[in-house]
Amino acid sequence: MKKRGVGIAAALYPTGMSGGGDSSQAIVKVKTDGTVDLIIGSCDIGQGAKTVLAQMAAEELGIGYDQVTVVNQDTDATPMCFGTFASRVTFVAGNAVVQAAREARSILFEVAAEDLEASPDDLVAADGKIFVRGAPDRAKTIAEVAGKANFAMRKLVVGRGHYMRNPSSPDPQTGQTDPFATLAWAAVLAEVEVDTDTGEVEILKLVTCYDVGRAINPLLAEGQIEGGTVMGIGATLMENLYPFYPTQAWQPESYHDYVIPTAADVPEIVSAIYECPSTNGPYGAKGIGEMTANVPAPAIINAIHDAIGVWITEVPVTPEKILKALEAKG
């Protein structure tokens, strides 16, 4: 017999290391043709760091995204980044990039101010130009300004950024601390069908909503949510990290032994992005990377309970576990 159920899970997730202290650095170099090198140590492992960090630099400098070259191939030649973990890169490295771009922009404004006969505070960078606020005809291209800085004034148009949230250690008397830079929120609804004869679980639909703070790149955010959702399905129903625990004599050595979801296992996924801007993230952004893989599991398990009335308390939820639980229930 096949029975259907619905389950909901809600979660919160911090950005960066709990307690702070993790830092990232960035360098922004404006070249004489108006293009920019963004030099970072942050590693892009598929989450889109190169894209969103380049977007931030371009936004601050008033140039196109395609005019930014991201340099991060070699950690010996790039500034420090604590690493791609804790859903921290957009938030921590992003703040560093914004700082660096603003410092580079301030140098451009100082150089342009004389020619435009205006205070640097009255200048704006947009559309590849620097112009006087309220007087767009009084303008110089960024290439012209960068060229003058280099060849006429012998200035380096280089900005530096370093972001690190201050460490917050627990008070030894009270335990009070400031653990999180910011919190993101999520909710997932799962619809499942459970075969009580075989123990098999089919996920029919997942509806997800994630608070990203501010979606720097909505398409990338949606892709990350959907990718994390599929990873969550694998962790919930298929992936066994310790199949013969506590005996470690055998471990999976290939994808023949370690099963992960394929396209055929992906159900209908409805993704919603909710924006509740962080007060200290770049443009209000928060980190959502790991959270997207964590929330599906409790929603799916709650749906299984709704369908057949048994709780499975260990992942992966295999047919054997469901049949044993049903047998114990009687």
Positions marked catalytic: 290
- Hey, what are 255's tokens? 């994808």
- Hey, what are 19's tokens? 């307690």
Collapse the DSSP code of 266 into the 3-class scheme (helix H, G, I; strand E, B; otherwise coil) and give the result: coil
What CA–CA distances, in Å, run from 88 to 21, 182, 259?
12, 10, 29
Q: How far apart are the first and last CA of the chain?
A: 15
Helices 94-116 and 49-61 pack at an angle, to 10 degrees, of 20
- The pair phi, psi for residue 7, each rounded to 5°, is -135, 150
**Residue (of 196, 206, 163) closest to 308 by Cα position:** 196
Q: Which residues pair with 186 in a beta bridge?
A: 11, 210
What CA–CA distances, in Å, run from 55 to 48, 80, 109, 117, 264?
11, 20, 20, 30, 34
Collapse the DSSP code of 249 into the 3-class scheme (helix H, G, I; strand E, B; otherwise coil) and give the result: coil
Q: How many CA atoms lie within 13 A of 178 on its CB side?
A: 8
- Hey, what are 236's tokens? 């919930």
* Alpha helix (H) residue ranges in 3-126: 49-61, 94-116
